[in-house]
Amino acid sequence: MEDEWVMHTAVKDGTSNERVTTTLIGLPGDPDDDQYGYGTIPDEGETAIPEEDQVAVPFYTNTYVDDTTALDRREALRKVKRYSRRGGIETAYKKIKEFVAWTTSKDFSVRLFHFGFAVLLYNSWLMVDFLVQTGLDIEFRSKPRITAQRFIEFVKQRLVRLI
């Protein structure tokens, strides 16, 4: 860990150019976790890589972390895991936007319906992609085999026939 990475930036409820001190934390990387880049326990069937051969994954935090204190290290790891989950959630929300129908309505109930329907389509797409991948009896991968656009076009064709 390295301390005193100083930046001058706008801080919420602070001055426009306030000094912010951050801490650089390096965590051991997980070789099969491309999306989040960290891990401490090898997955089932995965061979453990010696610590000296692992590439450190950098994270910045504004929390002071003392490298010699186990409690600080555990707390820093907990924050990194929470932040990494947040990245996955933000990616999912970005993807859901592809499924939302365009509307100019300012009515909350209409907008809520559009968002709810988009979430339903998004979850359906994930389920169909999962079923296709398991049905092909090949290794599951996080990158979808059926693109969102292809799924949307398929659903659109089916709905047009119904109407």
Is the model's pTM score more than 0.85?
A: no
- Torsion (CA) 39, 43, 46, 52 in degrees, nearest 10: 20
Q: Cβ(99)–Cβ(118) under 8 Å? A: yes
Average pLDDT over residues 139-151: 84
pLDDT for position 112:
94
Where is pLDDT greater, at 13 or 132? 132
What tens digit of pLDDT does each residue of 21-38 get? 667 777 665 544 444 444
- The answer on pLDDT for 71 being more than 50 is yes
Sign of CA dihedral 36, 124, 144, 31: positive
Residue 152 has pLDDT above 70, yes or no: yes
Tokens of 57: 């994954």
When pLDDT is averaged across residues 72-78 and rounded to a whole number, the result is 77
Report the C-alpha gap between 109 and 143 in whole angstroms: 33
CA angle centred on 30, ends 24 and 32, rounded to 5°: 140
Q: Over 60: is that where the pLDDT of 81 sits?
A: yes
At 20, the pLDDT band (50, 70, 90 cuts) reads low
Mean pLDDT (the chain, rounded): 75
CA distances from 141 to 29, 65, 124, 132, 151 (A): 19, 35, 17, 11, 18
Residue with more model confidence, 126 or 32: 126
User: What distance in Å separates the CA atoms of residue 51 and residue 49, rounded to the nearest whole number?
Assistant: 6
